[in-house]
Structure 1
């Protein structure tokens, strides 16, 4: 499994456009606060700043933000909703200027188990480290519109306003620059759109941040744009067929090497052309002989399908993606996403990271983000899981540090709360967190009733007997 790290190191360096690894300038999520989103009624905070100082964890110097956060909890406790809140904020920041047609209401999902909460606004705030400078961006929305929006940054540790929005009224900071241009863009910002996404669409964006010439608006937008890309399956196995990507060949080699390292029985990847009836596509009478030329020139455009080579007793056998196990397909998808994220210094969100994967594979994926060698650009991974094994150790090393573990629990009124393991003052060594969690010491476990389980199954059995009489 050590091969995983070296393979993704090579790929991430190839994706990083030869940028030198400088963790001081790495974009990082420092904290995320949100309120009135799905099962979360009160404001919650996911804090990614380390809880322990230099040298507290195995002689490591403390980073400015932890590279990994794992969120654990029972089924239906709200783990997915916590990640969903950050995903919603990202979608609004990137596409709110195009998401809502004029006259339509804003899409949001407030806490619906309390009638009073439905009428209350929802709030989302991130603290980011961009170019070595802290930025705070947030907004408040109700069903009708964006009611508030703001962006601050903290050069040399002092709070500076970039812009503030109250309804349709905007105010600018002294260092905002090009106020006339920003004022014009503010004038065309729809009530249901964020100014951040509107200025990115109509302003002058740039592909890379420039620490020597910071632009808080564009640098903040870029963090959201890169965050969680590929979660919509655009970085799934089909990307291996996309020859328009400059890194297509490298991706294919990476996939083969990763699958070999994971010991899933795959030894190679083959792209086979689909069979096309050109006589049907380009009949002979088409434009007096043009069909023959079109047929000849279309060979490069023939679609392909992915085949995976497995070693058998008589040699290699080719099997399609649909013939692979669910775990292999999950590993393939997560491996592709991780390679992309590690090469851009972005943030990756994964709901139920352990789904269909062996705990060792899941732990190895997590370790890639914690390794400075595999993760030179400071990418971050935030995931949810039910797998208590991830609270333990692998090869005598912690899979997750104490300040990388969070829990979600739902109260009797159906409202979720988010809290860290550090609230329980865990010891650095000698504490079996996996066992303590399963024993309920940290909460966030199902409150099961053996009696009700047995009663429900007995009732079902009686019903089945009655139905067969």
Structure 2
């Protein structure tokens, strides 16, 4: 990331130890107040937002949405990410200035050999020789790309096959929790998580009990009869598809048999699973808009259940974190959380971090990136011991008023 908020100079955040390239499940970013920790998480959020919304959400008659360092407003902003999507390593990046997209590129690296999917310089877009424009439809999109929008964003909206894996990684795998969330949003996310399966409540409640916040139970209203059958059917389809995805990952023979009998690949199953989950969330949102979440929290020794607005800041903070963390563990996501220990005791925050460090609770390869100004979370061993499987970075602000990332 370059020239985003306090990160004026090029900074690189690596999610692995030493020379890599094996990623660690936990990456901690430590620094004092106003050092620039939030800028790092915000850079991830800004890159994701640009990929998902530059076509549909940005003003077509204005410059691109960016937040350069106040001391360098005319310098370009750049984001680059390396990731694995549908089993293939990718590198994707783009540069923005105040007028539009200066450059954009997507490369694959199968078997460590770089292949150009596309490279863009201003209005000129070159498609790599390994990706035939007529076959994948990339060429048809080129005349439609606005100067202030990303080609990957348009390709995701139009489902251009060659670019779909990279787009879906930003849409479905990278999740960012930062900024203020009101209690209605927290209740919605928690209600959606609990309504999917009884097992979700059975796993979440012990974590709430261990926090010592006095909560003995969480109540959620039954699904609206107008939506109940549809939600039940979707939940069944999601469970069966997830089972098939896991079987394909653990048994090549099962994947081969599925291909031969039904013509379905593991990638197709994974995409269908993502589509089903998105459809389920959209349907749940429509139901909540009609009748509300119906969330109540029961406290030991108190007869009347609490509304979420009655809860302490620490309780709301924990209720905000648990659903995205548990979803990340279930689906093998990359979750970035700004100020992870806000309003929570260090012991409770440490317990949440260990969910990602433990192979028993993190069996799908989820990754947690978090910022903190609490050295206790670092000194506990979350980064100093090989067995904790963590990487630690420090953010510091220089005398020039810019932030720097330093590996610890």
Counterparts of 1:322-341 in structure 2, within 5 Å, are: 322-341=309-328
Whole-angstrom CA distance in 2 between matches of 1:414 and 1:394: 31
1:84 to 42, 45, 57: 42
TM-score normalised to structure 2 length: 0.75
In structure 2, the CA distance between the partners of 1:320 and 1:64, relative to structure 1 (3 Å rule), is same
Q: Could you tell me which of 211, 234, 238 is aligned with 2:188?
A: 238
Which of 1 and 2 has greater Rg? 1
Question: What is the DSSP-based 3-state SS (H/G/I as helix, E as strand, rest coil) of the residue aligned with 2:331?
Answer: coil
Verify: 1:144 aligned to 2:131, yes or no. no
Give the CA deviation at 1:35: 0.8
Alignment partners' CA distance in 2, 1:332 and 1:45: 31
Aligned with 1:266 (options 207, 215, 240): 215
Give matches, 1:376-415, under 5 Å.
376-393=363-380, 398=385, 404-415=391-402
SS of structure 2 residue aligned to 1:47: coil
Task: Pick from 32, 41, 63 the counterpart of residue 105 of structure 1.
Answer: 63
- 237 and 250 in structure 1: CA distance in 2 versus 1, 3 angstrom threshold: farther
What value does the CA root-mean-square deviation take over the aligned residues?
Answer: 2.8
The CA deviation string for residues 150-172 of structure 1, in whole angstroms up to 9 with x for no partner, is 01111111111111001111111
Q: Does 1:418 align with 2:364?
A: no
Relative to structure 1, the CA distance from residue 335 to residue 399 in structure 2 (aligned partners, 3 Å threshold; closer, same or farther) is farther
Q: Distance in 2 between matches of 1:316 and 1:67?
A: 41
Q: How does 1:288-327 map to 2 (within 5 A)?
A: 302-303=291-292, 305-312=294-301, 316-327=303-314
2:164 matched to which residue of 1? Answer: 218
How many Å separate the matches in 2 of 1:118 and 1:253? 50
In the superposition, relative to structure 1, how do residues 95 and 239 fare at CA in structure 2: closer, same or farther (>3 Å)? same
How many residues align? The count is 336
Q: Which ranges in structure 2 are unaligned for 5 or more consecutive residues?
A: 223-286
* Superposed displacement of residue 138, structure 1: 0.3
1:167 matched residue in structure 2: 122
Structure 1: give runs of 5+ residues left out of the alignment: 1-33, 54-62, 206-214, 274-297, 422-469
Whether the aligned pair in 2 keeps the contact of 1:235 and 1:337 (CA below 8 Å) is no
1:329 aligned counterpart, secondary structure: helix
1:375 to 329, 345, 362: 362
Q: Alignment partner of 1:343: what SS? A: helix
Is the 2:2–2:8 Cα contact (8 Å) retained in structure 1? Answer: yes
Q: Distance in 1 between matches of 2:293 and 2:323?
A: 19
Q: Is residue 185 of structure 1 aligned with residue 136 of structure 2?
A: no
2:49 is paired with a residue of what secondary structure? helix
Per-residue deviation, residues 172-194 of structure 1 (Å, max 9, x unmatched):
11221344611111210111111
- Give per-residue Cα distances to partners, 1:409-457, cap 9 Å, x unaligned: 1111101111111xxxxxxxxxxxxxxxxxxxxxxxxxxxxxxxxxxxx
Shift of 1:141: 0.4
- The CA distance in 2 between the partners of 1:95 and 1:356, in whole Å, is 32
CA distance in 1, matches of 2:192, 2:36: 36
Where is the helix percentage greater, Structure 1 or Structure 2? 2
Distance 1:356 1:399 in 2: 28
